[in-house]
Amino acid sequence: MNVVTLITQFTEVILAVVAAPLLMGWVNQCRAWLQNRRGPGVLQPYRQIRKLFHKDAVMAANASPLFRLVPYVQFAAMCLAAAIIPSLWTGLPFAVAADTIALVGLFATARVFLALAAMDIGTAFGSMGARREMLVGFLAEPALLMVFFTASLISHSTSLPTIVETLAQGRLAIYPSLAFAGIAFLMVLLAENARIPVDNPVSHLELTMIHEATVLEYSARHLALIEWSVALKLFNYTCIGLALFFPWGLATGAHSLRDLLLAIPMTGLKLLAAGFGLALIESLNAKMRIFRAPEFLATAFLLAVLGLLVHLLLGS
């Protein structure tokens, strides 16, 4: 890999890290509009993060080093993920480090660490949150993996860039299997990013929350990192979705500067659209009872496997 690719790689990561809160803000803003509110504005997440960074950290007396380590691990994991996902172009040198399976593993690692951190303090809500987080995870992960499998069966590869390239250049090939996969992926995305209908990102009603319960004990910079990595996670997932199901416009192969300049606005537009769609879904649905979550995810898992079967059946 030459210097240029490395530079592009890093610029991409930086872009992702920077743009992630923006996406979050955009989604919230859209929701506000859909609920006829003015909304805090698109830049609100940045303000929050900045403020949190300046606060003094308050930490439970019996917190272990693990507890302090976790936010950094979270954030690092999401950055690495961002480096692997072809959000702008596919020629990512880092992509060899981890294919789709490793990507799923990466997300799993992040989740496990978060759950451990939640159990570390030993409050009722922390451990409850950890349990629910893992419950969501152990159904969402396989579903995500199956989605990837469907895609990689099409492209005979598990490395994300290759998948995206095959999907991107297959202009008008219609994959019915991908339809199933797409729905499944959407459900996983909602669950993984603690969105309605599985979880409510803005709720602080303890008994219903999942993700919030796990980070209840965090404050200041740690909380800032967590929030940021959450935004980054949403960004990553969205990018994955776009790359898999709307790969057009990504700079593929030997990327010339023209492609890149073309790719950036394309991706931007797609992200805006996706964000709006997400907000729409969240406004139209109501949060479901926590006990219904497994059924929801099981459905996702089933759809993904169905997609796999459909692919094998129709050979497409």
Partner 1 sequence: MTGHPTDLISITALACGWLAIGLLGFIRPRSTGWVAHGLFPLGAVLGIAITALALVALAHPAETLILPLGLPDLHFQLRLDALSAVFLLLIGATAAGISIFSAGYFRSGEGAAPGLLCLQYHLFLASMVVVVIADDAYLFMVAWETMALSSYFLVTTQHRLPEIRRAGFIYLLIAHLGAIGLLLCFGVMQGGNWQFTFEAMRAAQLTPVWTSAAFFLALLGFGAKAGLVPLHVWLPEAHPAAPSPVSALMSGVMLEIAVYGVLRVTFDLLHMQLWWWGLVTLGLGLFTALFGVVFAAVQTDMKRLLAYSSIENIGIIFLGVGLTIIFHAFHMPLLAALALAATLYHCLNHAFSKSLLFLSTGSVLHATRERSLGKLGGLIHRMPWVAWLALVGTLAIAGLPPLNGFVSEWLLLQAFLFTPQLPHSYINMLLPMGAAALALVAALAAYVMVKFYGVIFLGQPRESTLSKAQDCGRLERIGLLWLAAGCVLLGIFPVPLLALLNGVSRELLGASLGSQLQHWWLLAPIAPERASYSPAVFMLSIVVLVAVLVLGVRLFYHGRVRKAPPWGCGFPLLTPRMQDTAEGFGQPIRQIFEPLFRMRRELPSPFDTSPHYRVQVEDHFWYALYMPIAGWVRRISNLAGAVQQGRISVYLLYSFLTLVALLAFAL
- Of residues 96-135, those binding partner 1 (CB under 8 A): 96-99, 101-102, 105-106, 108-109, 111-112, 115-116, 119-128, 130-131, 134-135
Q: How far is the CB of 274 from partner 1 (least distance, A)?
A: 26
What are residue 251's phi and psi, to 5 degrees? -75, 115
Q: How far is the CB of 138 from partner 1 (least distance, A)?
A: 4
Determine contact, residues 84/160, Cβ cutoff 8 Å. yes
Among 4, 173, 313, 314, binds partner 1 (CB under 8 A): 313
* Beta carbons within 8 Å of 168's beta carbon, 6+ residues apart: 90, 247, 248, 250, 252
For 63, the 3-state DSSP assignment is coil
Is 114 or 278 the residue whose CB approaches partner 1 more closely? 114
Calculate the alpha carbon distances from 236 to 19, 22, 172, 298 in Å. 11, 13, 26, 23
Residues 282 and 45: their CA atoms lie apart, in Å, by 19
Residues 297 and 141: their CA atoms lie apart, in Å, by 10
Is 26 or 113 the residue whose CB approaches partner 1 more closely? 113
Tell me which residues in 144-173 interact with partner 1 (CB under 8 A).
145-146, 149, 152-153, 156-159, 162
Is 79 or 281 the residue whose CB approaches partner 1 more closely? 79
Judged by CB under 8 A, does residue 66 bind partner 1?
yes
Q: Which amino acid is at 141?
A: E
| Nearest alpha-carbon partner for 214 in 292, 135, 116 | 116
The angle at the Cα of 91, spanning 88 to 93, to the nearest 5 degrees, equals: 115
Judged by CB under 8 A, does residue 227 bind partner 1?
no
Q: Which amino acid is at 2?
A: N
Residue 14: both structure tokens together: 């930086």
Is 119 or 288 the residue whose CB approaches partner 1 more closely? 119
Site size for partner 1, by CB under 8 A?
Answer: 77
Among 77, 223, 234, 303, binds partner 1 (CB under 8 A): 77
Calculate the alpha carbon distances from 313 to 56, 156, 157, 300 in Å. 58, 16, 19, 20
Tell me which residues in 278-307 interact with partner 1 (CB under 8 A).
294, 301, 304-305
Judged by CB under 8 A, does residue 265 bind partner 1?
no
Is 7 or 66 the residue whose CB approaches partner 1 more closely? 66
Judged by CB under 8 A, does residue 225 bind partner 1?
yes
Judged by CB under 8 A, does residue 15 bind partner 1?
no
Number of Cα atoms under 13 Å in the Cβ half of residue 189 = 25
Q: How far is the CB of 111 from partner 1 (least distance, A)?
A: 8
Judged by CB under 8 A, does residue 62 bind partner 1?
yes
Is 174 or 315 the residue whose CB approaches partner 1 more closely? 315
Is 27 or 80 the residue whose CB approaches partner 1 more closely? 80
Residue 266: both structure tokens together: 């394309």
Q: How far is the CB of 193 from partner 1 (least distance, A)?
A: 17
